[in-house]
């Protein structure tokens, strides 16, 4: 794989978004629902702004 390639993981079991985290400021990936011939973005990838929104100095 190279940067910019798409990766499909068809079954992550219990290790999907339910166990995802932002540890070390890692952005969680987008989630796409594929059903029959329909493809929908159901959660966009987080931005750095999303991660830092609740931080205070």
Domain boundaries, the chain: 13-52
Percentages (nearest 5) of helix, strand, coil residues in the chain: 25, 20, 55
For residue 25, the model assigns a pLDDT of 84
pLDDT value of residue 48: 92
Q: Find the range with the poorest average confidence among 16-20, 26-30, 40-44, 50-54.
A: 16-20
Residue 49's pLDDT is 93
Give CA–CA dist 7/28, Å, rounded.
Answer: 14
More confident residue, 37 or 12: 37
pLDDT confidence of residue 23: 84
| Dist CA 51 CA 34 (whole Å) | 27
pLDDT at residue 11 in the model: 74
Residue 38 banded pLDDT, cuts 50, 70, 90: very high
């Amino acid at each position: 794989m190279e940067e910019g390639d798409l990766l499909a993981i068809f079954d992550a079991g219990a290790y999907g978004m339910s166990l995802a985290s932002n540890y070390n400021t890692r952005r969680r990936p987008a989630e796409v629902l594929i059903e029959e011939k329909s493809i929908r973005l159901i959660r966009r990838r987080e931005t750095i702004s999303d991660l830092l929104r609740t931080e205070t100095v």
